[in-house]
Amino acid sequence: MKKIFALLTILGLVGAIAAAQPKLTIYADDTRSPVLRDAAADFTAQSGVVVEVIEIAPTDIRSQYITTTQAGQGPDIVVGAHDWVGELVANGLIEPLDLGVKAAEFSGAALDAFTFGGQLYGMPYASENLALIYDKAKVPTPPRTWDELLAIARALHDPAIPSYGIAFQNTVNNFYQFFPLLSAAGGYIFGFDEAGNYVPCDVGIANEGAVFGATLYKSMVDEGILPTGVDWDTLNALVAGKSVAMVITGPWMVDAFQRAGIDYGITQIPAIKGPTGAYNVPKVFIGVQGFMVNSMSPNKTIAMDFLLNYVATTEVMVRLLEVGNRPPAYLPAMVAAGPDIAAFGQQAAFGVPMPAIPQMASVWQEGGNAIELIHTGTDPAVALKQAYDLIRQAVGCP
C-alpha cells in the first residue's frame, strides 16, 4: 500500500510539474507559421517549453487577437503590422519591448515604425509595399505613365476570354490598395504638426488631389477596363489563369506569378498626371511586419527569449524572406535579398508609413466604404466627403 501511495505521489508531482510547465502560443498566418514552427522545435528541444503556432487568416489575425486577449485567452506573441500598434497600445494589449544589443541588427526605419509614444512595441522582421507586377509576354515594356497604362489596359481588355490589362484588390476592405490613386495628386490621410506628430483632425482624404485620383479610378470602372469586386481569391485566380497583364500588388503575390509560370517584371506604379499637369509617382503605404508580445501574457520573459535567440537569427530571417518575398528588417538577412526585393524597394522610395495611431481604424473602415460607394455610382467627391466627415466624427473632431 505504501508503494502504491508513493507511486501515486510521484505521479501527482510529475503531473503538477507538467501542468506548471509554461507554454507559448503564437498567432501567425499561413506564410509565417511553417517557419515559426521549425524555430519553435529548436526552442523546445533546448528549453523544454512547448510552442503552439496557431494559424489564422491574415485578414482575421488582428480582430481575433484583440477579442481573445481582452477575454484573457490571447496568445503570448502575435505577428502583425506596425499600424496595429496605436490601437493595441490604446487598449493595453501589447508590451513595450527591449531588444538590447540586438536592436543594432535591425533597420532603424523599421524600429521607428514600431515605436509609439517613445517606446518600442514590436520586433520587426520585414517591410512591404505595393508596386506594379507585369507579365512580360503581354507587356514587353512596362508603362511609365498612367496614360500608357490605360492604353495597354484597353488593348488587352476582353472579358469574354477573359483578359484584363490591369487589376488590383478593390473590395470594400481594401482601402490600402486604393490609396496610391488618391495620393498621386496630393491626397493624404493625416497631416502633421511642427514636431512631426500626426494631427488626426487634419484629414486629407477628400481634398482636391484625392478627388482627382478617385475620379480617375471611377473613369476606369465606368469604361469597364478595371474589374471591380476583386478580392484576394479572385486576383489569385486571374494570375493563375494568366488572365491579367498588370497587377498593382505587393511581394505577397510574387509566388502566384511564379506558380503560374509567368515571366514577370516588377516596377514602379506609373506616374499620374495631376490637375496641375505635373506627373507624380503614386505614394504607397509602407508597412512593417513584426512580432508583438501580449501585455497580459504570464510568459513575457520566455517569449522574448524565443524572439531574440531563436527568431532573430540570420537563418530564420532568411527563411521568412524566402517565403514572404519581403525586404528584411533584420540587416544580416539582406544578403539573401534578390532583384524582386530591390524592385519593391524602388517603389518604397515613394512610400509613406501607414499611420500607427488608433484613429487609423476609422480610415480603413470609411475609406473602404467609399470604394463601394464609387462602384455603385456615387460621385467620387461625394463618397470621399462622406468618408471625411465620418472619420472626423469618429476621431472626435469639432
Cα(156)–Cα(166) distance, integer angstroms: 9
Q: Look at residue 133 and tell me whether its pLDDT is greater than 80.
A: yes
374, 214 in Cβ contact below 8 A? yes
Residue 250 contacts by C-beta under 8 Å, 6 or more apart in sequence? 128, 129, 130, 131, 326, 344
Cα(370)–Cα(390) distance, integer angstroms: 11
What single letter denotes the amino acid at residue 337?
Answer: A
Alpha helix stretches (DSSP H) within the chain: 2-20, 33-47, 61-70, 85-90, 108-113, 146-156, 175-183, 208-223, 232-240, 254-259, 300-306, 314-324, 339-348, 360-375, 380-395
Above pLDDT 70, what percent of the chain? 95
Fold classified for 131-285+355-395 = D-Maltodextrin-Binding Protein; domain 2 (3.40.190)
Q: CA dihedral in degrees (327, 227, 80, 326; nearest 10)?
A: -10
Q: Look at residue 117 and tell me whether its pLDDT is greater than 90.
A: no
Among 3.40.190.10, 3.30.420.10, 3.30.1330.40, 2.60.120.260, what is the CATH number of 2-128+287-349? 3.40.190.10
- Residues 128, 129, 130, 134: is their CA dihedral positive or negative? negative
Closest by CA to 135, choosing from 27, 226, 238, is 238
The whole-number pLDDT of residue 15 equals 44
When pLDDT is cut at 50, 70 and 90, the band that residue 37 belongs to is: very high
Give residue limits of the domains in the chain: 2-128+287-349, 131-285+355-395
Query: pTM value?
Result: 0.77
Beta bridge partners of 294: 94
Residues in the chain: 398
Closest by CA to 265, choosing from 246, 250, 241, 281, is 246
Average pLDDT value for residue range 306-330: 93
Q: Which three cell numbers stand for residue 311?
A: 527568431
Average pLDDT value for residue range 34-43: 97
Q: Look at residue 11 and tell me whether its pLDDT is greater than 60.
A: no
Average pLDDT value for residue range 253-257: 93
178, 374 in Cβ contact below 8 A? no
The whole-number pLDDT of residue 20 equals 59
Q: Which residue has the cell 500626426?
A: 198
Q: What is the mean pLDDT of the chain?
A: 92
Q: Look at residue 278 and tell me whether its pLDDT is greater than 80.
A: yes
